[in-house]
Structure 1
Amino acid sequence: MKKRVAAVITQYWLNSHADVIISRLLGELGYEPQVELVAMYVEQVTDRDLSHELSAKHGVPICATIEEAVAWGAPERKIDGIVVIGEHGDYPWNEKQQHLYPRLRFMQETLAAMECHGIRVPIFLDKHFSYDNGDARWIYERVKSRGIPFMAGSSIPYTDYVPDFDRSFLQGGRTFFVVSHGGHESYGFHGLEVLQVLAEQRRGAETGVASVHALAGDEMWQAMDRAEWPEALMMNALALEPELSGRHPRYECPNPALFVVAYKDGTMGYVAQLDKFATRWSFAVQEHGDAYIAAYCNTGQERPYSHFTRLTELIEEMILYGTPPCPIERNLLTTYLINTAMESLYQGRPLSLDELGVAYDPRESYS
């Protein structure tokens, strides 16, 4: 008998995160699920909604509240896992250009329902914990204190690298440069997750980040002219896109940004947001001296977006066996990174992360 899952969703439409994850759990998109979706909560229904059509097709009820979805079948047969997708929808933006998705509220109501009905099951939370670092810490502390298997974050770090390379090279990495695209917050988070999954492989456990500095527009290129960040590594990463050969984003990217991450051990990380120029997540990593490797993340460029197949498999594995694919601390740290980067863009200065210390061993999936 398959384990049973409830989904908590903001909006559900073609190619939304709900579609490319939850539709797979329903057996759509050529996917054969190992679990059974038994209930959904969908907060906003638009004229392009898919949830009602798929609800009728698969016999999965749409519940009126988060508690109803989480408690579906209780007490006789409680659910075995929860998928929370607080991405997309008609929610406000703040002055820092952060989209105020209700992930904290979704998690508060989910955890309250679990407590009320005596449920302790794995939870997947799509992308970063929250746009607010305090809210993110609240989520982290609650799931840790309850011993709840918890997975969050991006689909991109779980893709294959092209070309493949000897992972031991990352142990000596001192400078990590990721090329990203899309919105500064929405896709910048993916870029920071790619950065962190590479940087955490350097020798020793992750000891944390000292500061984040975000540069935008001409300020980014002026800093490049002063050799304050490694232009050569950016070009090495971009060279993996044949159509960009010989082209420089300085002259073609309308709204660039650079996230500069200074780690406490002296390692440097960079994420260049090159929307309307780059089209994939690529990276270059340099040791001491001139040795470097470069590769890109092999994401599916068109529907059904194959990188979400791997993500869905990992979600199912956590629900089936209770073991997340990475420490929760990685996702907490990348949440801090994107939130601090957006704050730095807003304030126009580097910001310290000393008071938000996050250290972890990447070899431990859960502690």
Structure 2
Amino acid sequence: MRKRVAVIITQYWLNSHADVIVSRLLGELGYKPQVELVAMYVEQVTARDLSRELSVRHGVPICATIEEAVAWGAPERPVDGVVVIGEHGDYPWNEKQQHLYPRLRFMQETLAAMDLHGIRVPIFLDKHFSYNNTDARWIYDEVKRRGIPFMAGSSIPYTDYLPHFDRAFLQKGRIFFINSHGGYESYGFHGMEVLQALAEHRHGAELGVASVHALSGDEMWQAMDRGEWPEALMLRALALEPELAGRHPRKECPNPALFVVTYQDGTMGYVAQLDKFATRWSFAVQDDEGAYIAAYCNTGTERPYRHFTRLTEMMEEMFINGTLPCRIERNLLTTYLINSAMESLYLRRPLSLEEWNVAYDPAPNR
């Protein structure tokens, strides 16, 4: 008998995160699921909603509450896993340009339902834990306290890197430069994910992060002119996009930002947000001797967005076998990184992460 899962969703429409993940679990998009989706909760239903149509097509009930979805089939045959997708929807923004998605509330209600009905099953939480570090830590602590297998984040860190390179080089990495695009928070998080997925492989990792500093607009380019960040690495990574050959974002990127990450061991990480210029996540890594590698994340740019296939497979592996693709501490740290970057951007000064330090062994399942 296949494992059974419930999904908790903000909105469900074409090419939304619910669509590219949950539709696969329903057997859409050419995907053959290994688990059975048995219940859905969808908080906001819009004119372009897909959940009602797919509910009828696949015979999957839509529940009125998160508790009803999580407790579906209990006590005789409770669900074996829960997928929480708190992305997209009509939710407010704060003064730091953060979208206030209800991931904390979704997790609180999910865990409360599990406690009430005596359920202990794996959870997947899409993207970062929360826009607030205190809330993120609450989620981490509560899941760990219950001993629940927990997977979070996105598909981007699990894509193939092209061109291929010897991953052993990452052990010597001292400077990690990531080119990103899209919104500061929504896609900047992906840039932080790529950064941490690479940086955690270095010798002695992971001791954590000391500080984060965000620069934007002319301030970013002036810092480059002063030699405060490695322009050459940015250009080496951008050169992997043929259409960008000979072009510089300084002249063409309208609202750039740079997130500067200083690790406890002195390693430096950079995420350049180059919206309307870069079109993929590319990176360059340099060692102490000046040698470097450069590559990009091979994401699918058109429907059905093949990188979500790998993510869905990893989710199913967790539901079936309890196997995690990475340590959840990586996702906690990347949550802290993007939240601190957005606060630094708002306050226009560096921020210490001593209060939010995360040290971990990057080997999964230890």
Q: State the partner residue of 1:115.
A: 115
Q: State the partner residue of 2:31.
A: 31
> Residues 139-150 of structure 1: matches in 2 within 5 Å?
139-150=139-150
Aligned partners of 1:233 and 1:284 also within 8 Å: yes
Q: State the partner residue of 2:323.
A: 323
Q: State the partner residue of 2:251.
A: 251
Residue 193 (structure 1) aligned with residue 228 (structure 2): no
> Residues 200-349 of structure 1: matches in 2 within 5 Å?
200-349=200-349
Aligned partners of 1:149 and 1:366 also within 8 Å: no
Q: State the partner residue of 1:181.
A: 181
Q: SS at 2:296's partner residue?
A: strand
Q: What CA distance in whole angstroms lies between the structure 2 residues aligned with 1:366 and 1:115?
A: 24
Q: What CA distance in whole angstroms lies between the structure 2 residues aligned with 1:355 and 1:88?
A: 30
Q: State the partner residue of 2:8.
A: 8
Q: What CA distance in whole angstroms lies between the structure 1 residues aligned with 2:14 and 2:296?
A: 26
TM-score, normalisation: structure 2: 1.00
- Describe the superposition over 1:127-160 as per-residue Cα deviations: whole angstroms up to 9, x where unpaired: 0000000000000000001100000012100000
Report how many aligned residue pairs link the two structures: 366
Cα offset, 1:355, TM superposition:
1.2
Q: What CA distance in whole angstroms lies between the structure 1 residues aligned with 2:83 and 2:154?
A: 14
Cα offset, 1:323, TM superposition:
1.8
Cα offset, 1:54, TM superposition:
0.2
Q: What CA distance in whole angstroms lies between the structure 1 residues aligned with 2:17 and 2:365?
A: 25
Cα offset, 1:289, TM superposition:
2.3
Cα offset, 1:205, TM superposition:
2.9
Q: State the partner residue of 2:20.
A: 20
Q: What CA distance in whole angstroms lies between the structure 2 residues aligned with 1:330 and 1:225?
A: 33
Aligned residue type for 2:287: E
Aligned residue type for 1:232: A
Q: State the partner residue of 2:103.
A: 103
Quote the RMSD (CA, aligned, Å): 0.5
Q: Unpaired segments of 5 or more residues in structure 2?
A: none
- Describe the superposition over 1:305-328 as per-residue Cα deviations: whole angstroms up to 9, x where unpaired: 000000000000000001211111
Aligned partners of 1:328 and 1:366 also within 8 Å: no
Percent of residue pairs identical: 83
Aligned residue type for 2:162: V
- Describe the superposition over 1:91-110 as per-residue Cα deviations: whole angstroms up to 9, x where unpaired: 00000000000000000000
Aligned residue type for 2:145: S
TM-score, normalisation: structure 1: 0.99
Q: SS at 1:62's partner residue?
A: coil
> Which range moved further: 128-137 or 319-328?
319-328
Q: What CA distance in whole angstroms lies between the structure 2 residues aligned with 1:285 and 1:96?
A: 30
Q: SS at 1:28's partner residue?
A: coil
Cα offset, 1:366, TM superposition:
3.6
Cα offset, 1:57, TM superposition:
0.1
Q: State the partner residue of 2:361.
A: 361
Q: What CA distance in whole angstroms lies between the structure 2 residues aligned with 1:57 and 1:165?
A: 44
Q: What CA distance in whole angstroms lies between the structure 2 residues aligned with 1:231 and 1:103?
A: 36
Cα offset, 1:357, TM superposition:
1.4
Q: SS at 1:177's partner residue?
A: strand
